Amino acid sequence: MTLRVTVWGENVHEKKHKLVAELYPKGMHGCIADALNADPGIRATTATLDQPEHGLTEAVLAQTDVLTWWGHAAHGQVDDRIVDRVQQRVLQGMGLIVLHSGHHSKIFKRLMGHNCDLVWREAGEKERLWVCNPAHPIAQGLPAWIDIEHEEMYGEPFGIPNPDEVVFLSWFAGGEAFRSGVTYKRGGGKVFYFRPGHETYPTYHQAEVQQVLRNAVKWARPDGQFAWGAPERPVAKSLEPIVEHGGSVH
């Protein structure tokens, strides 16, 4: 069965900065979607901040198995109603892949319940992305490490809750280390944060990075759909017969 992926991107840097536009003429979201669509089992479409409802209408999300999210300059412009909508879909079972500076997105911080702050430096230094768990589905087909010649540095401490799994750990030429690939379960949905992907470097063109993205969306595909809510179960429908005592405050 075809895996349906929606690739969400701000599409802000691509419009404002010539270098980013040259690196990603179809936008970073377009590059990521192309990488995913290289797998015949994946059908990736795109959505961007400037579209009505940020391209994430109820109809779009209902037809999305996994959502990828790249944001940086415009986190505050994302409508809270859309964040509510995405959160509900994750709890119901939709997968979520959060990329690079999406660590400060509203949706990631809400799902993590933390500030998601980190140490950073923009110097175009070398990153070595170590595979911590070669048996993990997200690491399949990868070498023991991935060298990215030029990237933005993210360093510890990283203000996230303890991950369920650490799939990748980065080392940077300046000496810092960072948990660059971590997984979580939120409600019925799987969440994966993947660090590489600063807009001024061609990271998403790198074959190994593209393989991580394809592996990640396959890992995050829903196991099932769940309906979360808080419905009342009246006395007449209790599992065992009971006698009601006292009054209700509702």
The pLDDT tens digits for 43-83 are: 999 999 999 999 999 999 999 999 999 999 999 999 999 99
pLDDT at 147: 98
Compute the distance between CA of residue 10 and CA of residue 28 in angstroms, rounded to an integer: 9
Residues 6+ apart with CB under 8 A from 223: 93, 188
Domain membership flag for residue 217: yes
pLDDT at 245: 83
What percent of the chain has pLDDT above 70? 96
Across residues 29-45, what is the average pLDDT?
98
Domain membership flag for residue 208: yes
Phi, psi of 10 (to 5 degrees): -65, -40
Answer whether 159's CB lies under 8 Å from 116's CB: yes
Secondary structure, 3-state, 115-144: CCCCEEEEEEEEEEEEECCCCCHHHCCCCC
Residue (of 46, 9, 17) closest to 197 by Cα position: 9
Question: Half-sphere exposure of 51 toward its Cβ, with a 13 Å CA cutoff?
Answer: 13
Using omega within 30 degrees of 0 as the cis cutoff, is the peptide bond preceding 161 cis? no
Domain membership flag for residue 169: no
Q: Which residue has the tokens 């074959």?
A: 207
CATH number at residue 194: 3.40.50.880
pLDDT at 242: 87
pLDDT at 5: 98
Domain membership flag for residue 140: no
Domain membership flag for residue 240: no
Compute the distance between CA of residue 85 and CA of residue 201 in angstroms, rounded to an integer: 32
Answer whether 45's CB lies under 8 Å from 6's CB: yes
Compute the distance between CA of residue 247 and CA of residue 250 in angstroms, rounded to an integer: 9
Domain membership flag for residue 150: no
Pairing state of beta strands 119-131 and 165-172?
Answer: antiparallel
Rounded to the nearest 10 degrees, the angle between the axes of helix 27-37 and helix 207-219 is: 70
Structural domain count of the chain? 1
Domain membership flag for residue 145: no
Judged against a pLDDT cut of 70, whether residue 220 lies above it is answered with yes
The pLDDT tens digits for 8-29 are: 999 999 999 999 999 999 999 9
Answer whether 181's CB lies under 8 Å from 138's CB: yes
**Residue 106 lies in domain:** 3-113+180-227
Q: Which residue has the tokens 């429908």?
A: 237
Amino acid at 77: Q
Compute the distance between CA of residue 153 and CA of residue 196 in angstroms, rounded to an integer: 9
Compute the distance between CA of residue 73 and CA of residue 250 in angstroms, rounded to an integer: 44
Q: Which residue has the tokens 């179960």?
A: 233
pLDDT at 228: 66
Q: How confident is the model at residue 234 (pLDDT cuts 50, 70, 90)?
A: confident
Q: How confident is the model at residue 249 (pLDDT cuts 50, 70, 90)?
A: low
